Amino acid sequence: MHSFSKKMFVVVSLFLLGGLLVACGGTQEAAAPEVVEVTRVVEAEPEVVEVTRIVEGESVVEQVEVTREVEVVVPADSEVTTIEYWQYFFDPRVDAMNRLIQQFEAENPDVRVIHNSDVPYADYRDKIAASAPAGVGPDVATLFYGWVPAWVDAGYLIPLPQDEFPPEMIAEQFSPMVQNSQFEGEYWALPTAVRTLALFWNKDLFAEAGLDPESPPTNLDELAEMAQALTQYDDAGNIVVEGFPVGVPGQAHHWFREVLVRQFGGQPYSDDNRTVMYNSPEGCEAFKYMLAFETEYNTGSNDLFEDATQAFLQGKSALHIDGSFRVGTIAKSAPDLNYGVVELPIGNDVQSTFGSYWTHGITRKAAEDPAVLDASIRFLKFITTPEAGTTWVNKVGELPAQLEAAANEDLLADPILGPFAAGLPYAHATFFVDESAQRQFIVDAYDSVRLAGADPCEALDEAAALEQELLDEFWANHN
């Protein structure tokens, strides 16, 4: 018994020590803002000021972004309406939204916005699903544009009031792909920013392969040739550097549907979005083109280096198709990567890209209280202005949804963001009824060819049949 209590003592003190460390951490965090001394204050946008801090006995000069303090008359508690905004956790998005909320609250002292972003990306929908039946959750929520039909069907979103958000205004001022938020004759959501796909290339690996680091592939043939030239193998024939891994579960399934199928002369879906058409002979050619990188040319695989995205971030792949949002990731996780971005390769003179966006909708919950609804409308208006789009592009790397801000010359001239912005006029956004299921069909078709030796056209037929079933089920409930 004696030795038992001695051991117990050791364990308890270990954990107490842990607790102590937490307490210390907490104090440091809390103390940080206090040592910040603002040296000068100018109005408008947040600015960078130099601040001297004492860190562990040494004085350190840091550049800190400080937002102008705004004197506001704080109304009595009863007049303040609190609304809740939800999005998933992604550093740059959280920062950008915090900035917008700060500005919004300064202009609207009678509204307080609770910003909930402590949700891991993969679990965002779980949290929404759990909150809805409990009658809590967001008043304004971010959602992938492809979820709009499903959320509308469930009655979770309310249509945007037409007097506040005139459809003509949206059609005129927003990027064409925002049309996809229109469903059953109403707009249900509006984005701050949109994204397109483009081709990333690693300049160092181009140089290593003896290619001109400033001439990325511009058409599909060049893409295939360069991908092979860029792939490096070891003695055993294992890939050491990938020329071009096709990340189907990532963005490449979009590339197939909206870009390759069109470039090979097909059409992914009928114009009314009710019929799957990518399993046409043209579509199958496009599918074979995509498959060849892994099955014929052996230029890489999504299975290596965790996935295609990670491979590019690690400097292990030379070419990568991804969205503009990845620019922010690279800046954070791989700041030394020497890379460039170019518009997606042209195929048979057809230029296309996939456009997508995270959009913001007003929920049923907000509509229950007129004051909350009013505040939510004002908030949604605020975060979808061209100015908000500009704030967003700088923080997140996504393009402003408002054409006015997206057509900005500086943006188009930007070597990294320019190619994405250039894609906006010809971008296509797929009409999804169940985005994750529809992605899975393409992923499974691709996998069944490369892993199980299925016939490409048959695999595609299978995917199309399953997807058609899903679409039929969805449209059966709509006229």
Using CB under 8 A as the binding rule, whether residue 210 contacts another protein is answered as no
Tell me the window of 43-51, 277-285, 424-432, 445-453 that interacts with another protein (CB under 8 A). Answer: 445-453
Helix 91-107 vs helix 370-383: angle between axes, to the nearest 10 degrees? 120
Residues, the chain:
479
- The site string for another protein over 299-328 (x = CB under 8 A, - otherwise) reads --x-xxxxx-xx--xx-x--------xx--
* 3-state DSSP helix/strand/coil % of the chain, to nearest 5: 50, 20, 30
Identify the residue among 126, 221, 296, 455 touching another protein (CB under 8 A): 126
Enter the tokens of residue 81. Answer: 């309406």
- The site string for another protein over 282-301 (x = CB under 8 A, - otherwise) reads -------------------x
Question: With respect to another protein, which residue has the nearer C-beta, 373 or 403?
Answer: 373
Using CB under 8 A as the binding rule, whether residue 26 contacts another protein is answered as yes
**What contacts 125, CB < 8 A, 6 or more positions away?**
147
Burial grade of 356 (CB within 10 A; 0-12, 13-18, 19 or more)? buried
CA–CA distance, 421 with 415 (Å, rounded to integer): 11
User: What single DSSP character describes residue 251?
Assistant: I
Identify the residue among 51, 64, 80, 119 touching another protein (CB under 8 A): 119
Smallest distance from another protein to CB 317, Å: 11
Asked whether the beta carbons of 339 and 202 are under 8 A apart, the reply is yes
Identify the residue among 121, 409, 415, 476 touching another protein (CB under 8 A): 121
CA–CA distance, 177 with 26 (Å, rounded to integer): 45
Tell me the window of 49-57, 189-197, 210-218, 235-243 that interacts with another protein (CB under 8 A). Answer: 235-243
Footprint on residues 415-434 left by another protein (CB under 8 A): 434
Of the candidates 19, 442, 458, 46, which has an alpha carbon nearest to the alpha carbon of residue 252? 442
Identify the residue among 2, 15, 185, 271 touching another protein (CB under 8 A): 15
Identify the residue among 238, 271, 335, 410 touching another protein (CB under 8 A): 238
**What contacts 314, CB < 8 A, 6 or more positions away?**
305, 334
Enter the tokens of residue 463. Answer: 């995917």
Tell me the window of 185-193, 205-213, 232-240, 407-415 that interacts with another protein (CB under 8 A). Answer: 232-240
Tell me the window of 60-68, 72-80, 111-119, 170-178 that interacts with another protein (CB under 8 A). Answer: 111-119
Using CB under 8 A as the binding rule, whether residue 55 contacts another protein is answered as no
Question: With respect to another protein, which residue has the nearer C-beta, 121 or 163?
Answer: 121
How many residues contact another protein, by CB under 8 A?
69
Burial grade of 115 (CB within 10 A; 0-12, 13-18, 19 or more)? middle
First to last CA, the chain: 76
Positions touching another protein (CB under 8 A) are: 4, 7, 10-11, 14-15, 18-19, 21-22, 25-26, 89-90, 116, 118-123, 125-136, 150-151, 153-156, 236, 238-239, 249, 301, 303-307, 309-310, 313-314, 316, 325-326, 329, 333, 364, 434, 436-437, 440, 443-444, 447-448, 451-452
